[in-house]
Amino acid sequence: MEVHMGDYSNMASYYDVIMTSGYYDYEKIVSSLISETPFEQVLEIGCGTGLILQELAKRQPHVAISGVDLTQPMLDIAQQRLKPFANVSLSQQNVCELTLRDAHDLAFSYGGVWYFVIDGDKEPFMVSHIPDDADNHKGFERVAQCVAPGGVLLLGIQGPHHNYDTVISNGMTYSQQIDPSPIGFTKHYYLKDGAQTVMAQTVNYRTYSFSEAQRMMAAYGFTYAPEQNRGNLFLGFKKS
Ligand SMILES: C[S@@+](CC[C@H](N)C(=O)[O-])C[C@H]1O[C@@H](n2cnc3c(N)ncnc32)[C@H](O)[C@@H]1O
């Protein structure tokens, strides 16, 4: 089945083994998240299977932690993983219709709904899991309602995407293929066990130049704040 709206259902049961085979370094991500000003209420947008939130909850047991994700099968895994942590609450939500009661002093997304690609000295550009432009605006409008004035939004940084395949820790072969599209690019993810394809997923990504992204975010009160950047892992935006 081909899915396009940022839905990770096909990948869900293999997500952890792919990501923990060197795709992301969750300890490093969390170290960078907690490296600056302390926070009391934190939200992850596109928390997936909860790998970041588990590490965060272990290290910040007194912080109120929320996570939202579009894909129920990803969230089911997160629910199981995060059961031991009373300070974590999760909900299935599309960020374009996000509703949460609390105003968070920190919100972040890493590889989640929005992220930035930085390729050497080239200007960063933003990648969105949301293909429709108007929906991206709705998403930032909704996120703005969940971040307190003076709060911070951190969006993860990734290197440039390229085609490759690699053997992961369970012996299967993970591969990804990138094709340009009129709105950005399409990424095909595959997992093969020998000759058999056990997982195939396609996601359509929309891209924004750095200035387009800053303009869109500024419309909802988020201003680029380089002093909030976390090394080469997150770009920081301050909420007015
Ligand atoms: C690559 S995963 C990242 C998961 C997690 N942050 C991690 O680091 O492992 C991207 C996640 O974003 C979620 N996502 C995509 N579009 C979304 C949307 N419109 N609203 C909420 N979540 C979304 C997907 O369901 C998926 O779980």
Q: Are 81 and 15 in contact (CB under 8 A)?
A: no
Band of residue 234 on the pLDDT scale cut at 50, 70, 90: very high
User: Above 60 in pLDDT, residue 4?
Assistant: no
Q: What percent of the chain has pLDDT over 70?
A: 98
75: phi then psi, degrees, rounded to nearest 5: -65, -35
pLDDT over 90, % of the chain? 90
Tell me what the mean pLDDT of segment 30-36 comes to: 93
> In the chain, where do the E strands start and end?
41-45, 64-69, 88-92, 104-109, 114-117, 125-128, 147-158, 164-167, 173-181, 184-193, 196-209, 222-224, 234-239
Output the CA 71–ligand 1 centroid distance in Å: 7
Residue with tokens 């965060």: 56
**What is the per-residue pLDDT across 8-19, written as a single tens digit (0 to 9) for each?**
999 999 999 999
Atom of ligand 1 nearest to the CA of 139: 19
Q: How far apart are CA 51 and CA 68, in angstroms?
A: 13
What's the Cα-to-Cα distance from 36 to each of 28, 72, 104, 226, rounded to whole Å? 14, 32, 16, 13
Residue nearest to atom 13 of ligand 1 (CA): 46
Residue ranges and CATH numbers for the domains of the chain are 12-159+207-239 (3.40.50.150)
pLDDT of residue 2: 40
Ligand 1 atom closest to the Cα of residue 24 is 8
Atom 15 (ligand 1) nearest CA: 6
Confidence of residue 38 (pLDDT cuts 50, 70, 90): confident
Summarize pLDDT for 95-128 with one digit per residue, the tens.
999 999 889 999 999 999 999 999 998 999 999 9
Please report which confidence band the pLDDT of residue 37 belongs to, taking 50, 70 and 90 as the band edges.
confident
**pLDDT for res 14:** 93
Helix/strand/coil for 61: coil
Reported confidence tier of residue 180, pLDDT bands at 50, 70, 90: very high
pLDDT of 185? 96
Q: What's the whole-number mean pLDDT along residues 73-102?
A: 96
The pTM of the full predicted model, rounded to 2 decimals, is 0.96
Average pLDDT, the chain: 94
